[in-house]
Structure 1
């Protein structure tokens, strides 16, 4: 995923959420609806989340230092994980607290009854625009991958985060519209509380999904199976490489992959020839997978018995 596509989606979501938050707070002040307050806090949390994603993207571009020799690419994962915590605590738990309070002490909406409906309809339109932008930008890199797999397998966290936030916001707005609408129709404020509770549960669920996926990226994920195949073909395509003894990959950031491999070279080759073949192999790897920017290749002589023992000790080793 290009950083530009993610930034465009984040800015669209940020602009939409700031405008929505302001109108929701006005509606809450006029009507006292807990659904409107929960949705207003939700929009504020989302706006803060987009700010965190932008900050993470900015900090991730810092140059490598002796203390951090592989750079700061994972800053984007750190801030995406913080987003999930903010969404859970500020958005989800606050909404659940408001729902409990409203169900315990339901209050009908007596004044400015039309305001929440108008605000929610406007918010749905704005969130729909933001969601459409995120979908459009995601389609540039998603290909034929399903949306579920795209969210689970994407190495750049920004677009999946915005997609989940916007989808959750749209569903939450529908919950709020139902809660407010039923409260206005029946005169019973308990529906407002139920709508608020549904919003809270939705936000907690989305926060959980984001936390699990970004935690996996923070721990360290390797290349996708399709990219592993490309790497293997590129490494073995030259005359100076007999086979891959074993190979490991690791994402240092969304657009930077580390490749470390032990390769079998002909036992009769001289050091100068081995060095030339390694350089040629690195060039092939970068042509096959441009994000493979950090490459370590260790030449060795292939011994079947030794390779078998290594495989038994480490299931990730490929002979």
Structure 2
């Protein structure tokens, strides 16, 4: 068995979170001020969206800090999955608060549409919001790219990522940028056609967009929380590493589970060559652990099937 201590909170992920908090907090205040002046339902929906996103970033920050706690008696495998738990709470928040309230406000405004007001300040705030959201989105994109495999798309990088903080903020910011476009289109079309119902309809569309983003987040974080394996290519490389060990006859199975963004547990069911002395088996295990640590540093804990060890000494 090989164990390493849990890392301190990861600087790259925290940078992404702090950038998102700064962007969304300022944007939310500006949107609500303009929504109060203009009466735009789409701007209210966007304000709700940014306020919810700000709260969500603080939840992710909490998850980051809790996931960095060292293993203890009650949690011998550490607290890495705390991040996945809080990311799932974020997904529920986006669904209920972001999507639900935006749709509710849009439906309410459709029943009693406010009069059309001068949209200039709405456009100003939406433009500034797009700049801030674009900055936050770009920070999360760059962090995703650090682990992105050559030849894969950004969306494939999101699906493959085990870092819930980064892909959650990337998905949130992507939805935010689309929402800004929808809000701007709703306001512009409402004034162009002199129709007060288009703006509330845009609020409902923004709500549906957020619900879609929430389902996407829940699917990704839920799988990690239950316990995902490393991807197929990494598993194949890991098996090839084991097969290079001359003391092994065969590798029956290598079962992995993601315990955190940068921590994986490995349970190895292998067959050692019969008749090996205990010293040679220990030396082989040491070589395997050293090779795994060098080539797959995210694998922090390795357990060997006891039946394989017993068979070696028969």
Q: Same fold (TM over 0.5)?
A: yes
| Deviation of 1:104 (Å) | 1.8
Q: 1:23 aligns with which of 30, 35, 47?
A: 30
Structure 1: state its 5+ residue gaps: 304-319
Match of residue 129 from structure 1: 135
| Deviation of 1:302 (Å) | 7.3
Match of residue 207 from structure 1: 214
Counterpart-to-counterpart distance in 2, 1:57 and 1:39: 27
**What's the CA shift string for 1:47-87, capped at 9, x where partnerless?**
01111111100111111111110000001100110110000
Counterpart-to-counterpart distance in 2, 1:131 and 1:62: 28
1:220 has 2:224 as partner: no
Match of residue 147 from structure 2: 141
Question: CA contact under 8 A between 1:41 and 1:91: conserved in structure 2?
Answer: yes
Match of residue 49 from structure 2: 42
Match of residue 275 from structure 1: 282
Match of residue 66 from structure 1: 73
Question: CA contact under 8 A between 2:12 and 2:143: conserved in structure 1?
Answer: yes
Could you say what secondary structure the match of 1:103 adopts?
Answer: helix
1:157 has 2:157 as partner: no
1:287 has 2:305 as partner: no
Question: CA contact under 8 A between 2:230 and 2:256: conserved in structure 1?
Answer: yes
How much is the aligned-residue C-alpha RMSD, in angstroms? 1.6
| Deviation of 1:273 (Å) | 1.5
Could you say what secondary structure the match of 1:141 adopts?
Answer: coil
Runs of 4+ in 1 over 3 A off after TM superposition: 300-303
Could you say what secondary structure the match of 2:146 adopts?
Answer: helix
| Deviation of 1:133 (Å) | 1.6
Once the two structures are overlaid, the 10-residue window that deviates more, 34-43 or 101-110, is 101-110
Could you say what secondary structure the match of 1:35 adopts?
Answer: helix
Q: How many residues align?
A: 301
| Deviation of 1:181 (Å) | 1.5
Match of residue 184 from structure 1: 191
Question: CA contact under 8 A between 1:241 and 1:266: conserved in structure 2?
Answer: yes
| Deviation of 1:252 (Å) | 1.2
Counterpart-to-counterpart distance in 2, 1:90 and 1:102: 17
Question: CA contact under 8 A between 1:247 and 1:260: conserved in structure 2?
Answer: yes
Counterpart-to-counterpart distance in 1, 2:138 and 2:90: 21
Match of residue 195 from structure 1: 202
Question: CA contact under 8 A between 2:144 and 2:158: conserved in structure 1?
Answer: no
Give matches, 1:26-105, under 5 Å.
26-105=33-112
Once the two structures are overlaid, the 10-residue window that deviates more, 209-218 or 148-157, is 148-157
Question: CA contact under 8 A between 1:95 and 1:197: conserved in structure 2?
Answer: yes
Could you say what secondary structure the match of 2:73 adopts?
Answer: coil
**What's the CA shift string for 1:217-257, capped at 9, x where partnerless?**
11100111111122112212122112112221111111111
Counterpart-to-counterpart distance in 1, 2:180 and 2:253: 51
Counterpart-to-counterpart distance in 2, 1:194 and 1:147: 31
Question: CA contact under 8 A between 1:42 and 1:91: conserved in structure 2?
Answer: yes
Counterpart-to-counterpart distance in 1, 2:147 and 2:252: 32
Question: CA contact under 8 A between 2:255 and 2:268: conserved in structure 1?
Answer: yes
**What's the CA shift string for 1:108-142, capped at 9, x where partnerless?**
223x5321111111111111111122212221111
Counterpart-to-counterpart distance in 2, 1:109 and 1:23: 19
Match of residue 311 from structure 1: none
Could you say what secondary structure the match of 2:147 adopts?
Answer: helix
